[in-house]
Each structure stands twice: as C-alpha cells, then as structure tokens.
Amino acid sequence: MPILMHIDFNSYFASVEQQANPFLRGKAIAVGGKGKGLGGSTRSVVATASREAKARGVKTAMSTWEAKKICPELIILPGDPQKYSDITNRLITICTKYADQLEQFSTDEVFLDVTQSAQDYFGATLLAQTIRAELKAACGSACTASIGVAPNKLVAKLASESVKPNGLTVVLPENVAAFVATRPLKEFCGIGRQTERALETMGATSVATLRAISREQLVARFKSHGAWLSNAAHGKDNTPLAVDAPAKSIGHSYTFPANLLTKHDVWKNLLALSDRVASRMQHGYVVGFRVNAFVRYGDFSQMGGDKLFKEPLRDGLGIAKSAWSILLPNIDYARGVRLIGVTVSALQKNSVPPSLFRKTEKMHSVLGALNTIQKRFGQHAWQRATTAGTMLLERTSGWHYDHELAA
Amino acid sequence: MHTYMNDPIEVTVDFFGHRIRPREVRWSNRRYPLQCVNLVHGALEGAKRIFYFSVSDKTNFMKLRFDTETLEWRLVEIYTD
C-alpha cells in the first residue's frame, strides 16, 4: 500500500511577506490578487490572508474592499510573484530529495510518494519532520507548512488540512474510515460548493449521512462523480500522482480597473491577453485548435463561447482574431466590459508545419525572434503597437507565474 | 507605512564564501546599520540575474535590489511602523 504525503504552506503569500518583513508579523495582512500597483484596488481580491486576518473574518478570494470593511486595520500588500516562486522552488528542491515521486498540486502544495524512501509510517513521520526542519532553515520560521501522511491523496490532503498551522497528521490505513468521518464535506478536494449544495438536497450534510446514501443513488445524480463520492465517503481514492501531466488548456483572464466601453479598447486588451496566452503556448511548445472567449459585463452577466479551428493556433494575433470572431456578433459595449478571458485548448505538442504562404512563414520566423528577445530581455521586452496603453499586471496567485514564461 | 521607490544606494556587505550579507545601507546621506537579513530571493529579468535582500533594522524594513550585471544596489521598498 502506498504512503503519500501532502505538504501545504500555511497562509502562503502572507507568511512569506511576514518572513521578509518582521514588522508585519502578528498583524492582519492580506496579499492582493495582482502585482504591484493594484494591491489596494477595489477590483482586487484577497489572494491570501494572514492567520491574524483570517481570525478577523477575512477570507481568500474576498474582494479587498469587503475585506477592508470587515477588518479596517487590514494591511493590503501587492503580491510579489518572483518572491513566491523562489520559495516554491525551495520547497520543491527539498521535497525532491526525499520523495520517490512528486506532484506539484499548486504554488504552495505538493503531494509526495514516499513509499520506498520512508518504508513505513514511522519512517514517513521522521521524513515529514526532516522536511519541516529543512523548510524552516530554507524559508524562515514565519513560513510554516502543514503535513498529512496517509495511504492515498484524498486522505493525505484531508490530514494536512486538519491541523493548521504547522501540523503533522499521520493517518494509518486502519484509521482511514474513522478519520474521514470526522472531516466536514467542504474540506474534501472534489466537493465544491455546487456538489455540497446538491448533496444537501439529498440529505447528506456530513460524511456519516453521505455514507447512508447508496452508490446507485449517487451515480444516478452525479454520474461518474457519484462513484467517486461514494468511495471518498469511506476514504477510498486511487488517483495516482500526476507527475509532469501535460496542460489540457492554456488561458488568461483579466479584470480591468475600469470597465471597457469601446470596441477599440476591448480589441486591444483582447490582443494583449492573447499575446500572453501565445507566450505561454510557445513556452510549452504547443499549438491549439479550440478557442474559448468570454467577457463579463459590469453587471456580472457573461457572454462568450468557443470554436474549433482546422488550422493550428500559436501566435497572439491568430488567437485574438479567433476570439474576436466569437465575441464580435454579440458583444454589447454599452454594458461595460469588466473582464475578458481567452483560453486555447485541444493542445498538441507539435511545431506548426511550414506554410505555403510567404507572409505566414515570415510571421513564424518573426515570432521565433521575438521569443528569443523575450528570453534575453524579459517578458516586457516587446509589445505590439496596437496594445500600447494596455497594462496587464502580473497575477499573484496561480502557479504558472507570468514572469517564469520568459525564463 | 509602505513606500515603493527605486533609489540608488550604497551597501556595505560581509562575504561568506560565495554569499554576501548586507551590513549597512547608506541612503540620502544617512547610515542604516542592519540588524537582520530576513529573506533573500532571486529573480530573472530576461537573462539578467537580480537578487533581492529583505533586511531590517530596529525601526525599518528595507528591500534591496542587487543587479548582478551592473553590480548596482537600489532601495526598492521601505516600511516603517
């Protein structure tokens, strides 16, 4: 039976900021969702709140104005993605030394398979303590992590969630069912708000009541997810570690500081976003065939759709034109565009075949040169003249940081 | 209060093998003896390697930027309670 470990940094971005600046320790702080310049914007969200802020009711993904309303003394900091990715790399480096296999689950979470290296649960406990000590030495005492050890990913994550901050919870195989029964359904990775609400309508508000519902009933209501729910209620999960799993889609969405009201503004920001998506695609050496584009209006209603294309897409202009063909027929500028999102899917790890057209071939060689320039001088080394005046701030959250693309 | 800036500064450092530790910052004709190096992190600006030192004295937090290409130090952030 495998021995898996889940390591989760506590209040990650906020802890890193408190480590860097000791005057912030013990204070209610929050790190905004975007980089420098928008930390206190009314349209930013809380990417991470410190333990002190969480105790006052500030939650992750809460808008910064709402957080400030609940906790007026809250210090909102702009995120520093380069700092966070450096700390994440230290976590990965330490864990790689001890794990048979590693899956980076998010910017501050990893799953480790330690079956061979730990040999048994006693060995896994010692390993967890070693990793924690090394993390403290490498990242500082303010950066703490909770660790869960269990026979599968589901229970390992539940275990690490169960004691925060700086917890170490070991769930032996014979204790899995009893341990799972003590956890609330919302803590299960795979039970989101919608599933939780749907389960409530079936009378399942806890693990005990979920166990009382038959597998057939769950499958009838949730299809294949129903079978997973039935297993999860008993702490059963055989999901393997996703090591180097290829991306299924690459996308970028952005909430603007003020609503966009003209066709020109929407187009140039769509093009800037598409260039970001193209940059990530070139970084991963992939081309895509499906484009999804959507806008969110000022009143929070949404409009969008997706299209499958025969020709592979990889450059920003091509992606923007494809997205534009989806949005243009129905977009209503008068309602004010608050957010634009572009995603390319149906990805293939392949180079674009040589084109018959000279103009397209020229564009491909220009893109190659621009890519080289970006690698040497950074992500903002070039910009299309059309997108002049757009400024997409770097995201704090997520684990494919924008600055890593040019590296 | 947090202030973001990009001021050139002079920094006195101690060397420990391949590592350095900022000891004192001279900024605007004032000397700031440092008490603690809280965090050091690296970053890439294109192919250029940059190091950031998060340091503090008794009353100030400072973030120092060291450009390994030009060997220039800059003060990019200061926080005072």
User: Distance (Å) from the C-alpha of residue B48 to the closest C-alpha of chain A?
Assistant: 8
For A368-375, the CB contacts below 8 A with 24+ separation are A371/A279, A371/A282, A374/A279, A374/A405, A374/A406, A374/B46, A375/A406, A375/A407, A375/B46, A375/B47
Based on the residue annotation, tell me whether A109 is a catalytic residue of this protein.
yes
Query: pLDDT higher for A10 or A367?
Result: A10
**Beta carbons of A140 and B43 less than 8 Å apart:** no
What value does the mean pLDDT take over residues A379-407? 69
Which helix (H) or strand (E) element contains residue A70?
helix A64-70
Q: Are A343 and A250 a contacting pair, CB within 8 Å?
A: yes
* Spatial distance between the Cα atoms of A67 and A373, rounded to a whole number of angstroms: 41
Q: Give the start-to-end residue ranges of the domains of chain A.
A: 1-153+162-170, 181-245, 249-406
Tally the domains of chain B. 1
Give the residue from B54, B56, B58, B64 with the most A CB atoms within 10 Å of its CB, the best one to mutate. B54
**Beta carbons of A21 and B61 less than 8 Å apart:** yes
Determine the structural domain holding residue B72 and report its residue range.
2-80
User: Distance (Å) from the C-alpha of residue A378 to the closest C-alpha of chain B?
Assistant: 4
Share of chain A above pLDDT 90, in %: 66
pLDDT for the residue numbered A401: 58
Give the residue from A12, A17, A21 with the most B CB atoms within 10 Å of its CB, the best one to mutate. A21
Query: pLDDT higher for B14 or A380?
Result: B14
ipTM, 2 dp: 0.95
CA distances from A249 to A40, A195, A253, A313, A346 (A): 31, 24, 13, 13, 7
Residue B12 pairs in a beta bridge with B24
* Spatial distance between the Cα atoms of A29 and A17, rounded to a whole number of angstroms: 9
CA distances from B63 to A337, A382, A402 (A): 37, 28, 22
CA distances from A336 to A166, A169, A296 (A): 45, 49, 9
SS3 content of chain B, % helix, strand, coil (to 5): 0, 80, 20
Q: Tell which residue, A34, A59, A14, has the closest CA to residue A253.
A: A34
Strand ranges for A21-79 from DSSP E? 29-32, 46-49, 75-77
User: What's the pLDDT tens digit per position in B34-44?
Assistant: 999 999 999 98
User: What's the pLDDT tens digit per position in A333-383?
Assistant: 889 999 999 999 999 886 666 777 888 788 888 888 888 888 888 777 888
* Spatial distance between the Cα atoms of A81 and A125, rounded to a whole number of angstroms: 31
pLDDT for the residue numbered A38: 41
| A382 contacts chain B (CB < 8 A) | no
Determine the topology of domain A249-406 in CATH: Dna Ligase; domain 1 (3.30.1490)
Arithmetic mean of pLDDT over chain A: 89
Per CATH, the architecture of A1-153+162-170 is what? 2-Layer Sandwich (3.30)
**DSSP string spanning A168-234?**
EEE--GGGHHHHHTTS-GGGSTT--HHHHHHHHHTT--SHHHHHTS-HHHHHHHHTHHHHHHHHHTT
pLDDT surpassing 60 at residue A404: no
User: What's the pLDDT tens digit per position in B55-79?
Assistant: 999 999 999 999 999 999 999 999 9
pLDDT band at A101 (very low <50, low <70, confident <90, very high): very high
**Beta carbons of A378 and B45 less than 8 Å apart:** yes
Nearest to B61 among A23, A377, A403 (CB): A23
**DSSP string spanning A276-311?**
HHHHHHHHTT-BEEEEEEEEEETTS-EEEEEEEEEE
With tokens 């992500």, the residue in question is A379
Query: pLDDT higher for A202 or A245?
Result: A202
**Beta carbons of B54 and A86 less than 8 Å apart:** no
What value does the mean pLDDT take over residues A75-101? 93
Which residues of chain B neighbour A23 with C-beta distances below 8 Å?
56, 61, 79-81
Is the CATH number 3.30.530.20 carried by domain A181-245? no
User: What's the pLDDT tens digit per position in A180-218?
Assistant: 999 999 999 999 999 999 999 999 999 999 999 999 999
List A17, A103, A109, A161, catalytic entry: A109
pLDDT band at A230 (very low <50, low <70, confident <90, very high): very high
Nearest to B79 among A19, A21, A82 (CB): A21
pLDDT band at A35 (very low <50, low <70, confident <90, very high): low
pLDDT band at A154 (very low <50, low <70, confident <90, very high): very high
Which residues of chain B neighbour A86 with C-beta distances below 8 Å?
41-43
Q: Tell which residue, A124, A143, A120, A123, has the closest CA to residue A133.
A: A143
With tokens 């930390």, the residue in question is A39
A140: tokens are: 């500082």
In this structure, the number of other CB atoms found within 10 A of the CB of residue A171 comes to: 22
| A22 contacts chain B (CB < 8 A) | yes
User: Distance (Å) from the C-alpha of residue B37 to the closest C-alpha of chain A?
Assistant: 8
Q: Tell which residue, A166, A165, A162, A196, has the closest CA to residue A179.
A: A162
Nearest to B79 among A23, A87, A376 (CB): A23
Q: At what angle do helices A193-201 and A215-222 cross, to 10 degrees?
A: 130
pLDDT surpassing 80 at residue A238: yes
**A401 Cβ contact partners less than 8 Å away, ≥ 6 residues apart:** A81, A82, A84, A85, A107, A394, A395
With tokens 């976590």, the residue in question is A91
**Beta carbons of B63 and A406 less than 8 Å apart:** no
pLDDT surpassing 50 at residue A37: no
Biggest CA pair distance of chain A = 67
**Beta carbons of B61 and A22 less than 8 Å apart:** yes
Nearest to B42 among A20, A21, A86 (CB): A86
Q: Which residues of B touch A (CB under 8 A)?
A: 2, 4, 36, 38-39, 41-48, 52, 54, 56, 61, 63, 79-81
Task: Give the nearest chain B residue to A77 (CA atoms).
Answer: B2
| A19 contacts chain B (CB < 8 A) | yes
Query: pLDDT higher for A392 or A25?
Result: A25
Which helix (H) or strand (E) element contains residue A362?
helix A358-377
Strand pairing category for A75-77 and A101-106 = unpaired
**Beta carbons of A86 and B38 less than 8 Å apart:** no
pLDDT surpassing 50 at residue A407: no
The least confident of A39-43, A44-48, A196-200, A203-207 is A39-43
- CA geometry: angle A117, A119, A124, nearest 5 deg: 75
Position A393, amino acid:
L
Task: Give the nearest chain B residue to A378 (CA atoms).
Answer: B46
Q: Are A180 and A235 a contacting pair, CB within 8 Å?
A: yes
User: Distance (Å) from the C-alpha of residue B45 to the closest C-alpha of chain A?
Assistant: 5
User: What's the pLDDT tens digit per position in A274-294?
Assistant: 988 988 888 888 889 999 999
Biggest CA pair distance of chain B = 36
pLDDT surpassing 50 at residue A39: no
With tokens 């989806």, the residue in question is A326
pLDDT for the residue numbered A323: 95
Nearest to B46 among A36, A139, A381 (CB): A381
pLDDT for the residue numbered B79: 94
